[in-house]
Structure 1
């Protein structure tokens, strides 16, 4: 079940108990009488749960990186913070935008609900804005007919594979990406809305981003299932902008290991 929904339900239930206790039940209890069980185990938690719910819903929300699709920018086991208001204030649970504040920009790293299964949260980099023409041919990215500049910076060993590490400038953001010269440029695809906006070939694909949608890609270009595979990200699926690493653990179960504090900080 969605954690935001759980917090919402708990906030409502404990809130009802808290208000009933404060404004009615407390006045009827004999002086010095102990709090009943429903106050001790219900109403008393309201003042703790409500601030957590509001913080996660409107300010920042923590996430853990579960896959390597954003390597080298984000590693598996990074714990990150996501700005919930930078792209607009949204109602919790239903994710309905009620106040326009800003919108994703090229180069942003953002969290969104996976279009094929909104119960899952994904994190990728914004590559294409509504109306953009995106070309990814022979591992080279072009936006609106302009090549995105890249500079090779060396090798990156990932398991048994040696990836090419490049510095890419996307919009105003400079970041590193990985390419595997031995991988195909066409990652395959699954049926998705606006699939007619894309033309595919063995060399890659060309897509026009529909209104109200975004084209997202992982920095680990040949190890990322992204908009090249499952399509565009609708604006209503956006959760927020990722901006800070606050902790790192290589593995949680069965035993934590590889705890690292040197990754703490902001990232691009």
Structure 2
């Protein structure tokens, strides 16, 4: 009977430690998300599973082209975490016209787009402490061109890699 109780206690401790580690890792280091929409097609497919870095990305500035997870800005009408690509950085002047994104007067190359945007937006200057994000599926993405800037404090992480499905496993380009 004593051996039986010891085994139960050991398993109980093991389960608690595993749960605490899992909770700590997901809360502070990395997290995962399943992508429920097609706003990032063709880069991210429906139901792709992504791993996000929640800590180490803060060691260097976010770059144009980074794919981030963030809390939807107030007034956006969105209630879930979102995944989009950073297009505009703090201080940039951004405009969408002629099917292209123009940053500080120059058209940028966007080889990841599903199709050119069929709307016009801006010109608008991005304030300090904020980013402008778009989906790669520009014409079917509810993003900054609809609800505005993402405050830096809303950014929860940067995509590290896609882990599912296995045939597309790896870093997102």
Q: CA RMSD in A?
A: 2.5
- Equivalenced residues, count: 169
User: Structure 1 residue 81: deviation in Å?
Assistant: 0.7
The equivalent of 1:144 in structure 2 is 104
Whole-angstrom CA distance in 1 between matches of 2:62 and 2:140: 23
Matched, 1:214 2:119: no
The two structures have a TM-score, normalised by structure 1, of 0.57
Q: Contact 1:138–1:204 at 8 Å: present in 2 too? A: no
The two structures have a TM-score, normalised by structure 2, of 0.86
Matches within 5 A, 1:231-242: 231-242=148-159
Matches within 5 A, 1:101-250: 101-116=59-74, 119-149=79-109, 168=110, 175-179=111-115, 184-185=118-119, 203-248=120-165
**Higher relative contact order, chain-length normalized (CA < 8 Å, sep 6+):** 2
The equivalent of 2:48 in structure 1 is 78
User: Structure 1 residue 40: deviation in Å?
Assistant: 8.9
Deviations 1:108-166 (A, max 9, x none): 011101113685100000001111101111221111111113xxxxxxxxxxxxxxxxx
Deviations 1:152-186 (A, max 9, x none): xxxxxxxxxxxxxxxx2xxxxxx410226xx841x
Whole-angstrom CA distance in 2 between matches of 1:205 and 1:225: 16
Q: Find 1:50's aligned residue among 12, 16, 20.
A: 20
Structure 1 residue ranges without an equivalent (≥5): 1-30, 89-100, 150-167, 169-174, 186-202, 249-260
Whole-angstrom CA distance in 2 between matches of 1:79 and 1:240: 15
SS of match in other structure, 2:157:
strand
Structure 2 residue ranges without an equivalent (≥5): none
Runs of 4 or more consecutive aligned structure 1 residues displaced over 2 Å after TM superposition: 31-35, 39-46, 116-119
User: Structure 1 residue 103: deviation in Å?
Assistant: 2.7
Q: Which has the larger radius of gyration?
A: 1
SS of match in other structure, 2:57:
coil
The equivalent of 1:15 in structure 2 is none
User: Structure 1 residue 104: deviation in Å?
Assistant: 1.4
User: Structure 1 residue 206: deviation in Å?
Assistant: 1.6
Whole-angstrom CA distance in 2 between matches of 1:217 and 1:240: 16
The equivalent of 1:18 in structure 2 is none
The equivalent of 1:66 in structure 2 is 36
Whole-angstrom CA distance in 1 between matches of 2:167 and 2:32: 18
Q: Contact 1:139–1:204 at 8 Å: present in 2 too? A: no
